[in-house]
């Protein structure tokens, strides 16, 4: 009896050992699919103060007085008795893009009179940095001058400009600059008026001199750097639901976002009122970050531009309004003329505008989305009209089409079947699902039709609580589950051509939607654990998928292991990605099956935490972030200890 129990124990031990001892085999010389340069990209949407108050470095909120409440964000400062007045004035008949300005009357030569702008939850100001103030103004009568001053929350001055005299009654732009004496997270801007008389003001603006690539009136350098560090293959813009608008009147119209900023019509941001639990009444779109800037950003960070255009349908979660099919032409012209704006010769109307804006050479647009997250037969009708019009003029443009808001169910099945039958180019799948969904779906694309439309995993993020719950966290469990899932995307790179996490940015005080890839306040920014997963995949992309198996089986969840492997023709490396979702450390021997020789050292990057609830934050931005080490490679073998809850990347040079 005792002998039999011992034998059984030995058998159990053998089984356990055998599972762990089963090596991982990489078949390095047999590529199974090409990985597109576009594979891992970025989804940008102006949600959570991603543009105004975020990436677009303008510090003044409501600079042109076009918010519903024209003085929202502004406070009048004056002595008692009153020293002046501010009159909101509208010139709609002559300037429909920028109708409002303010008329400032200063009726006393003494006593303070001014306006304070509160910024986007304050203004982030850095010591010793230069700030550039501009304003459009004209004098109506008398003699008014102004100077500006940054102050901290106690009213202490952080820096002041020289005085600007407003002269002449034609609109002209005045400029001045000054250096900040201290760093402040929540500064405010005072505009002080001196003299006596009446002056008109518009486009009151303050930018840091230091922006991305030091471009005047440009983008926040730290935020663009985080994007560049992701090495994205594409950038999708401008969204998301913002493309659609809550109703057609507030849809995104790219032509209204190019040309001089003072001519770009401000409209409400659809996320202003979307969630009762996160109202953001001061959320508007200045379009200072418009389509030219998006294309330029794409070029700067080496990403293919992927604009998504409204297809005559407003958001189906809101008004669900569609434009009458007989009146679809302006929408189609928007699509055709965008291609001309991006790629056209400078002798064309829109190519010329691109040149005037500073970019004579084309932006090399190859991809375009028709509609965002649409569903139903009304989308199919519009899909047909758009596809015919675009393909007949630009047959090489690849079109991205919606299969609805969910990865399964009635809406998805209808569009998936219909658009496949119609030979759509690329289908845009969205999944905001629990972490378990991501782990369980690592094989989602294994059985997709290899000859059908390609897949763009256009919006995805594991939700720690529930979709649109304000309690969702960018925790390690979510990021680890996404990593597990992404090995399945990479293994199926012959079908999945592109993928992007969504949404991208969130201001820590101004957000509406969580989770988000990158969080920021007015001075600081950090990548979440999800960000590092994205970054590790994109910067270790490779060019060709090769098989990675254990016991001849793909690693897609058995024993809590997920894996994909690729070779990189450019660097001549073998790259492995292995995710261990278990709470146990797993020792694995890796055997490389190849005729090639390999260097004796592999570089290892690991993203890991024992705490599945771990998050990054402004205070601890790198709490969960990659660590690097090395491992020996002998006789095309290496031994890895895969830590609990870990995502490991191995790179080995082929000789």
Footprint of ligand AHR on 509-528 (CB under 6 A): 513
Footprint of ligand AHR on 43-102 (CB under 6 A): 45, 47
Q: Are 576 and 26 in contact (CB under 8 A)?
A: yes
Q: Are 175 and 31 in contact (CB under 8 A)?
A: no
Of 497, 390, 408, 387, give the one whose Cα is nearest residue 453. Answer: 497
Beta bridge mates, 637: 591, 634
| 269: Cα separation from own chain's centroid | 16
CA 362 – CA 396 distance, rounded (Å): 15
Beta bridge mates, 506: 519
Cβ nearer to ligand AHR, comparing 341 with 432: 432
Q: CA 276, 520, 646, 609: dihedral to nearest 10 degrees?
A: -90
CA 297 – CA 568 distance, rounded (Å): 26
Q: Are 477 and 520 in contact (CB under 8 A)?
A: no
Tokens in use for 238? 């401008």
Question: Which listed range, 224-232, 238-246, 277-285, 517-525, lies at the site for ligand AHR (CB under 6 A)?
Answer: 238-246
Q: How many residues does the chain have?
A: 655
Asked whether position 604 contacts ligand AHR by CB under 6 A, the answer is no
Asked about 373 being catalytic, the answer comes back as yes
Residue least distant from ligand AHR (Cβ): 240
Q: Torsion-angle region of residue 239: left (phi > 0), alpha (psi -120 to 50) or beta? A: left
Of 424, 416, 431, give the one whose Cα is nearest residue 489. Answer: 431
Tokens in use for 614? 């771990």
Classify residue 553 by burial, with Cβ atoms within 10 Å: 0-12, 13-18, 19+: exposed
Cβ nearer to ligand AHR, comparing 47 with 135: 47
Cβ nearer to ligand AHR, comparing 478 with 576: 478
- Smallest gap from Cβ 495 to ligand AHR, in A, equals 22
Q: Are 275 and 283 in contact (CB under 8 A)?
A: no
Question: Which listed range, 135-143, 210-218, 239-247, 299-307, lies at the site for ligand AHR (CB under 6 A)?
Answer: 239-247
| 379: Cα separation from own chain's centroid | 25
Question: Which listed range, 130-138, 236-244, 295-303, 548-556, lies at the site for ligand AHR (CB under 6 A)?
Answer: 236-244
Among 238, 288, 351, 405, the residue binding ligand AHR under the rule CB under 6 A is 405
DSSP E strands, 249-349: 267-268, 284-285, 304-309
Cβ nearer to ligand AHR, comparing 50 with 342: 50
- Smallest gap from Cβ 123 to ligand AHR, in A, equals 27
CA 344 – CA 337 distance, rounded (Å): 9
Cβ nearer to ligand AHR, comparing 182 with 468: 468
Question: Which listed range, 58-66, 102-110, 234-242, 566-574, lies at the site for ligand AHR (CB under 6 A)?
Answer: 234-242
Tokens in use for 55? 């990436």
Among 198, 199, 241, 495, the residue binding ligand AHR under the rule CB under 6 A is 241
- Smallest gap from Cβ 459 to ligand AHR, in A, equals 5
Question: Which listed range, 86-94, 218-226, 237-245, 627-635, lies at the site for ligand AHR (CB under 6 A)?
Answer: 237-245
Tokens in use for 148? 């500006």
Of 647, 543, 547, 550, give the one whose Cα is nearest residue 590. Answer: 550
Catalytic-labelled residue, pool 244, 293, 373, 482: 373
- Smallest gap from Cβ 43 to ligand AHR, in A, equals 7
Beta bridge mates, 598: 654
Q: Answer positive or negative: Cα dihedral of 550, 555, 561, 564.
A: positive
Cβ nearer to ligand AHR, comparing 533 with 607: 533
Classify residue 523 by burial, with Cβ atoms within 10 Å: 0-12, 13-18, 19+: middle
Among 114, 240, 290, 488, the residue binding ligand AHR under the rule CB under 6 A is 240
CA 119 – CA 466 distance, rounded (Å): 32
- Smallest gap from Cβ 208 to ligand AHR, in A, equals 28
Cβ nearer to ligand AHR, comparing 32 with 318: 318
Cβ nearer to ligand AHR, comparing 288 with 369: 369
Q: Answer positive or negative: Cα dihedral of 448, 450, 455, 461.
A: positive
CA 85 – CA 104 distance, rounded (Å): 6
Cβ nearer to ligand AHR, comparing 178 with 237: 237
Among 58, 373, 429, 490, the residue binding ligand AHR under the rule CB under 6 A is 373
Cα angle 197-176-224, degrees, rounded to a multiple of 5: 130
User: What is the x/- site pattern for ligand AHR, positions 477-506, by CB under 6 A?
Assistant: -------------------------xx---
CA 60 – CA 53 distance, rounded (Å): 9
Cβ nearer to ligand AHR, comparing 227 with 638: 227
- Smallest gap from Cβ 427 to ligand AHR, in A, equals 14
> What helix, strand, coil percent values describe the chain, rounded to 5?
25, 35, 45
Question: Which listed range, 235-243, 531-539, 577-585, 617-625, lies at the site for ligand AHR (CB under 6 A)?
Answer: 235-243
Cβ nearer to ligand AHR, comparing 288 with 503: 503
- Smallest gap from Cβ 467 to ligand AHR, in A, equals 8
Footprint of ligand AHR on 163-202 (CB under 6 A): none
- Smallest gap from Cβ 150 to ligand AHR, in A, equals 34
- Smallest gap from Cβ 47 to ligand AHR, in A, equals 6
- Smallest gap from Cβ 339 to ligand AHR, in A, equals 23
Among 118, 459, 482, 573, the residue binding ligand AHR under the rule CB under 6 A is 459
- Smallest gap from Cβ 503 to ligand AHR, in A, equals 4
- The H or E element containing residue 480 is helix 476-491
Number of H helices, E strands in the chain: 10, 34
Among 372, 402, 474, 609, the residue binding ligand AHR under the rule CB under 6 A is 372
Please identify every residue annotated as catalytic. 373
Q: Contact positions toward ligand AHR, by CB under 6 A?
A: 45, 47, 239-241, 372-373, 405, 459, 502-503, 513
């Amino acid at each position: 009896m005792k002998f039999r129990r011992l034998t059984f124990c030995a058998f159990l031990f053998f089984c356990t050992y055998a599972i762990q001892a089963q090596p991982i085999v990489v078949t390095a010389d047999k590529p199974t699919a090409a990985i597109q340069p576009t594979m891992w990209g970025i989804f940008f949407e102006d949600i959570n103060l991603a543009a105004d108050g975020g990436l677009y470095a303008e510090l003044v909120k409501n600079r042109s007085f076009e918010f519903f409440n024209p003085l929202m964000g502004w406070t009048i400062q004056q002595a008692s008795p009153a020293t002046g007045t501010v009159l909101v004035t509208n010139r709609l008949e002559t300037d429909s893009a920028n109708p409002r300005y303010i008329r400032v009357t200063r009726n006393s030569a003494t006593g303070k009179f001014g306006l304070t702008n509160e910024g986007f939850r304050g203004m982030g100001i850095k010591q010793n940095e230069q700030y550039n103030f501009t304003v459009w103004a004209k004098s109506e009568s008398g003699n008014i001058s102004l100077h500006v001053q940054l102050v901290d929350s106690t009213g202490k001055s952080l820096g002041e400009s020289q005085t600007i005299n407003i002269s002449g009654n034609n609109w002209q732009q005045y400029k001045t600059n000054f250096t900040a004496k201290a760093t402040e997270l929540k500064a405010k801007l005072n505009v002080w008026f001196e003299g006596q008389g009446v002056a008109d003001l518009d486009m009151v603006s303050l930018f840091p001199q230091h922006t991305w690539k030091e471009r005047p009136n440009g983008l926040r350098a730290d935020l663009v750097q985080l994007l560049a560090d992701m090495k994205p293959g594409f950038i999708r813009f401008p969204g998301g639901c913002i493309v659609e608008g809550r109703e057609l009147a507030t849809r995104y119209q790219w032509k209204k976002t190019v040309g001089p900023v003072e001519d770009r019509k401000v409209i409400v941001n659809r996320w202003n009122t979307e969630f009762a639990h996160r109202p953001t009444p001061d959320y508007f779109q200045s379009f200072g970050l418009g389509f030219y800037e998006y294309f330029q950003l794409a070029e700067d960070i080496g990403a293919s531009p992927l604009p998504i255009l409204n297809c005559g349908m407003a958001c189906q979660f809101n008004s669900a309004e569609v434009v009458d099919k007989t009146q679809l032409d302006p929408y189609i012209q928007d699509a055709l003329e965008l291609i001309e704006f991006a790629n056209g010769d400078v002798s064309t109307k829109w190519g010329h505008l691109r040149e005037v804006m500073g970019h004579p050479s084309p932006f090399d647009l190859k991809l375009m989305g028709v509609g965002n997250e649409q569903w139903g037969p009304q989308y199919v009708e519009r899909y047909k009209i758009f596809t015919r019009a675009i393909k007949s003029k630009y047959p090489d443009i690849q079109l991205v089409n919606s299969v609805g808001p969910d990865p399964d169910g009635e809406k998805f099945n209808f569009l998936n079947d219909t658009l496949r039958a119609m030979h759509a180019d690329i289908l845009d799948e969205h999944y905001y699902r629990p972490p378990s969904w991501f782990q369980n779906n690592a094989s989602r694309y294994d059985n997709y039709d290899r000859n059908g439309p390609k897949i763009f995993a256009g919006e995805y993020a594991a939700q720690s609580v529930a979709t649109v719950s304000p309690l969702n966290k960018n925790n390690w469990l979510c990021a680890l589950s996404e990593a597990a899932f992404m090995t399945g995307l990479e293994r199926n790179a012959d079908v999945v051509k592109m993928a992007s996490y969504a949404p991208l940015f969130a201001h820590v005080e101004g957000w509406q939607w969580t989770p988000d890839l990158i969080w920021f306040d007015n001075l600081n920014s950090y990548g979440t654990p999800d960000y590092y997963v994205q970054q590790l995949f994109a910067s270790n992309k490779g060019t060709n998928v090769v098989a990675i198996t254990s016991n001849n089986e793909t690693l897609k969840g058995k024993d809590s292991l997920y894996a994909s492997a690729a070779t990189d023709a450019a660097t001549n490396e073998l790259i492995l990605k292995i995710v261990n979702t278990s709470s146990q450390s797993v020792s694995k021997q890796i055997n490389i099956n190849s005729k090639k020789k390999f260097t004796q050292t592999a570089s290892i990057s690991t993203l890991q935490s024992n705490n599945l609830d771990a998050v990054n934050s402004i205070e601890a931005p790198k709490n969960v972030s990659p660590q690097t080490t090395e491992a020996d490679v002998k006789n095309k073998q290496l031994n890895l200890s895969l830590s609990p809850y870990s995502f490991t990347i191995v790179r080995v040079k082929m000789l």
